[in-house]
């Protein structure tokens, strides 16, 4: 049986769904004496997210974490569908897809660890950063050459937008 190259899925993607820790961040947390937990995000990922939104793609965040600083950053990029504290990611995925009339084959989901596994088994294009855990790499149709928090999100968004002729010449997107 012939398997499809991940590139054959790119032209059908309309929706990007991302986990946060280990995907949009490098998975490390700096804990301050106050108990506040700081995460670091890549500005190039932010640019790609903003560009995708400006081009009409749906962006959704589903994370088990609940850091409100993460929500503020993502909403600042124009992402309105930010679901933090989601411990049943399949339930959140199904609700989001139903509310937005999205088909599974049109979804790219990038995750990096075991909580992402069930969702990734359902979507059209499961992807992961280079430093994802082995169980996630096995089910990913694409493994970015970039690590989480170091451009993996930019990598997948740029590939989809280029295949769909939505990247070239887009030098007007504003990002933070």
Annotated ligand binding at 112? The verdict is: yes
pLDDT at 5: 85
d(CA 20, CA 48): 15
113 - beta bridge partners? Answer: none
pLDDT at 172: 53
For the chain, which residues score pLDDT lower than 70?
Answer: 1-3, 168-176
The DSSP annotation for 119-172 comes to: HHTTSSEEEE-TTS-HHHHHH-SEE-SS-TTTTHHHHHHHHHHHHTT-STT---
Annotated ligand binding at 19? The verdict is: yes
Q: Residue 51 in contact with residue 161, Cβ under 8 Å?
A: yes
pLDDT at 6: 87
pTM for the full predicted model = 0.92
pLDDT at 171: 53
pLDDT at 1: 53
Q: Domain 7-164 adopts which CATH fold?
A: Rossmann fold (3.40.50)
* Per-domain residue ranges of the chain: 7-164
């Amino acid at each position: 049986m012939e398997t499809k190259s991940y590139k054959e899925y790119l032209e059908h993607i309309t929706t990007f769904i991302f986990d946060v820790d280990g995907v949009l961040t490098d998975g490390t947390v700096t804990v301050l004496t106050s108990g506040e937990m700081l995460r670091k995000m890549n500005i190039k990922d932010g640019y790609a997210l903003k560009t995708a939104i400006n081009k009409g793609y749906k962006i959704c965040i589903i994370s088990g974490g609940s850091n409100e600083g993460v929500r503020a950053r993502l909403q600042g990029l124009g992402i309105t569908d930010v679901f933090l504290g989601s411990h049943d990611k399949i339930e959140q995925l199904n609700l989001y897809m139903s509310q937005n009339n999205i088909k599974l084959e049109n979804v790219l989901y990038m995750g990096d660890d075991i909580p992402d596994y069930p969702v990734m088994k359902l979507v059209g294009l499961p992807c992961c950063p280079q430093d994802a855990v082995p169980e996630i790499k096995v089910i990913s149709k694409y493994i970015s050459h970039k690590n989480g928090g170091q451009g993996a999100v930019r990598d997948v968004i740029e590939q989809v937008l280029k295949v769909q002729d939505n990247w070239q010449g887009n030098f007007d997107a504003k990002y933070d």
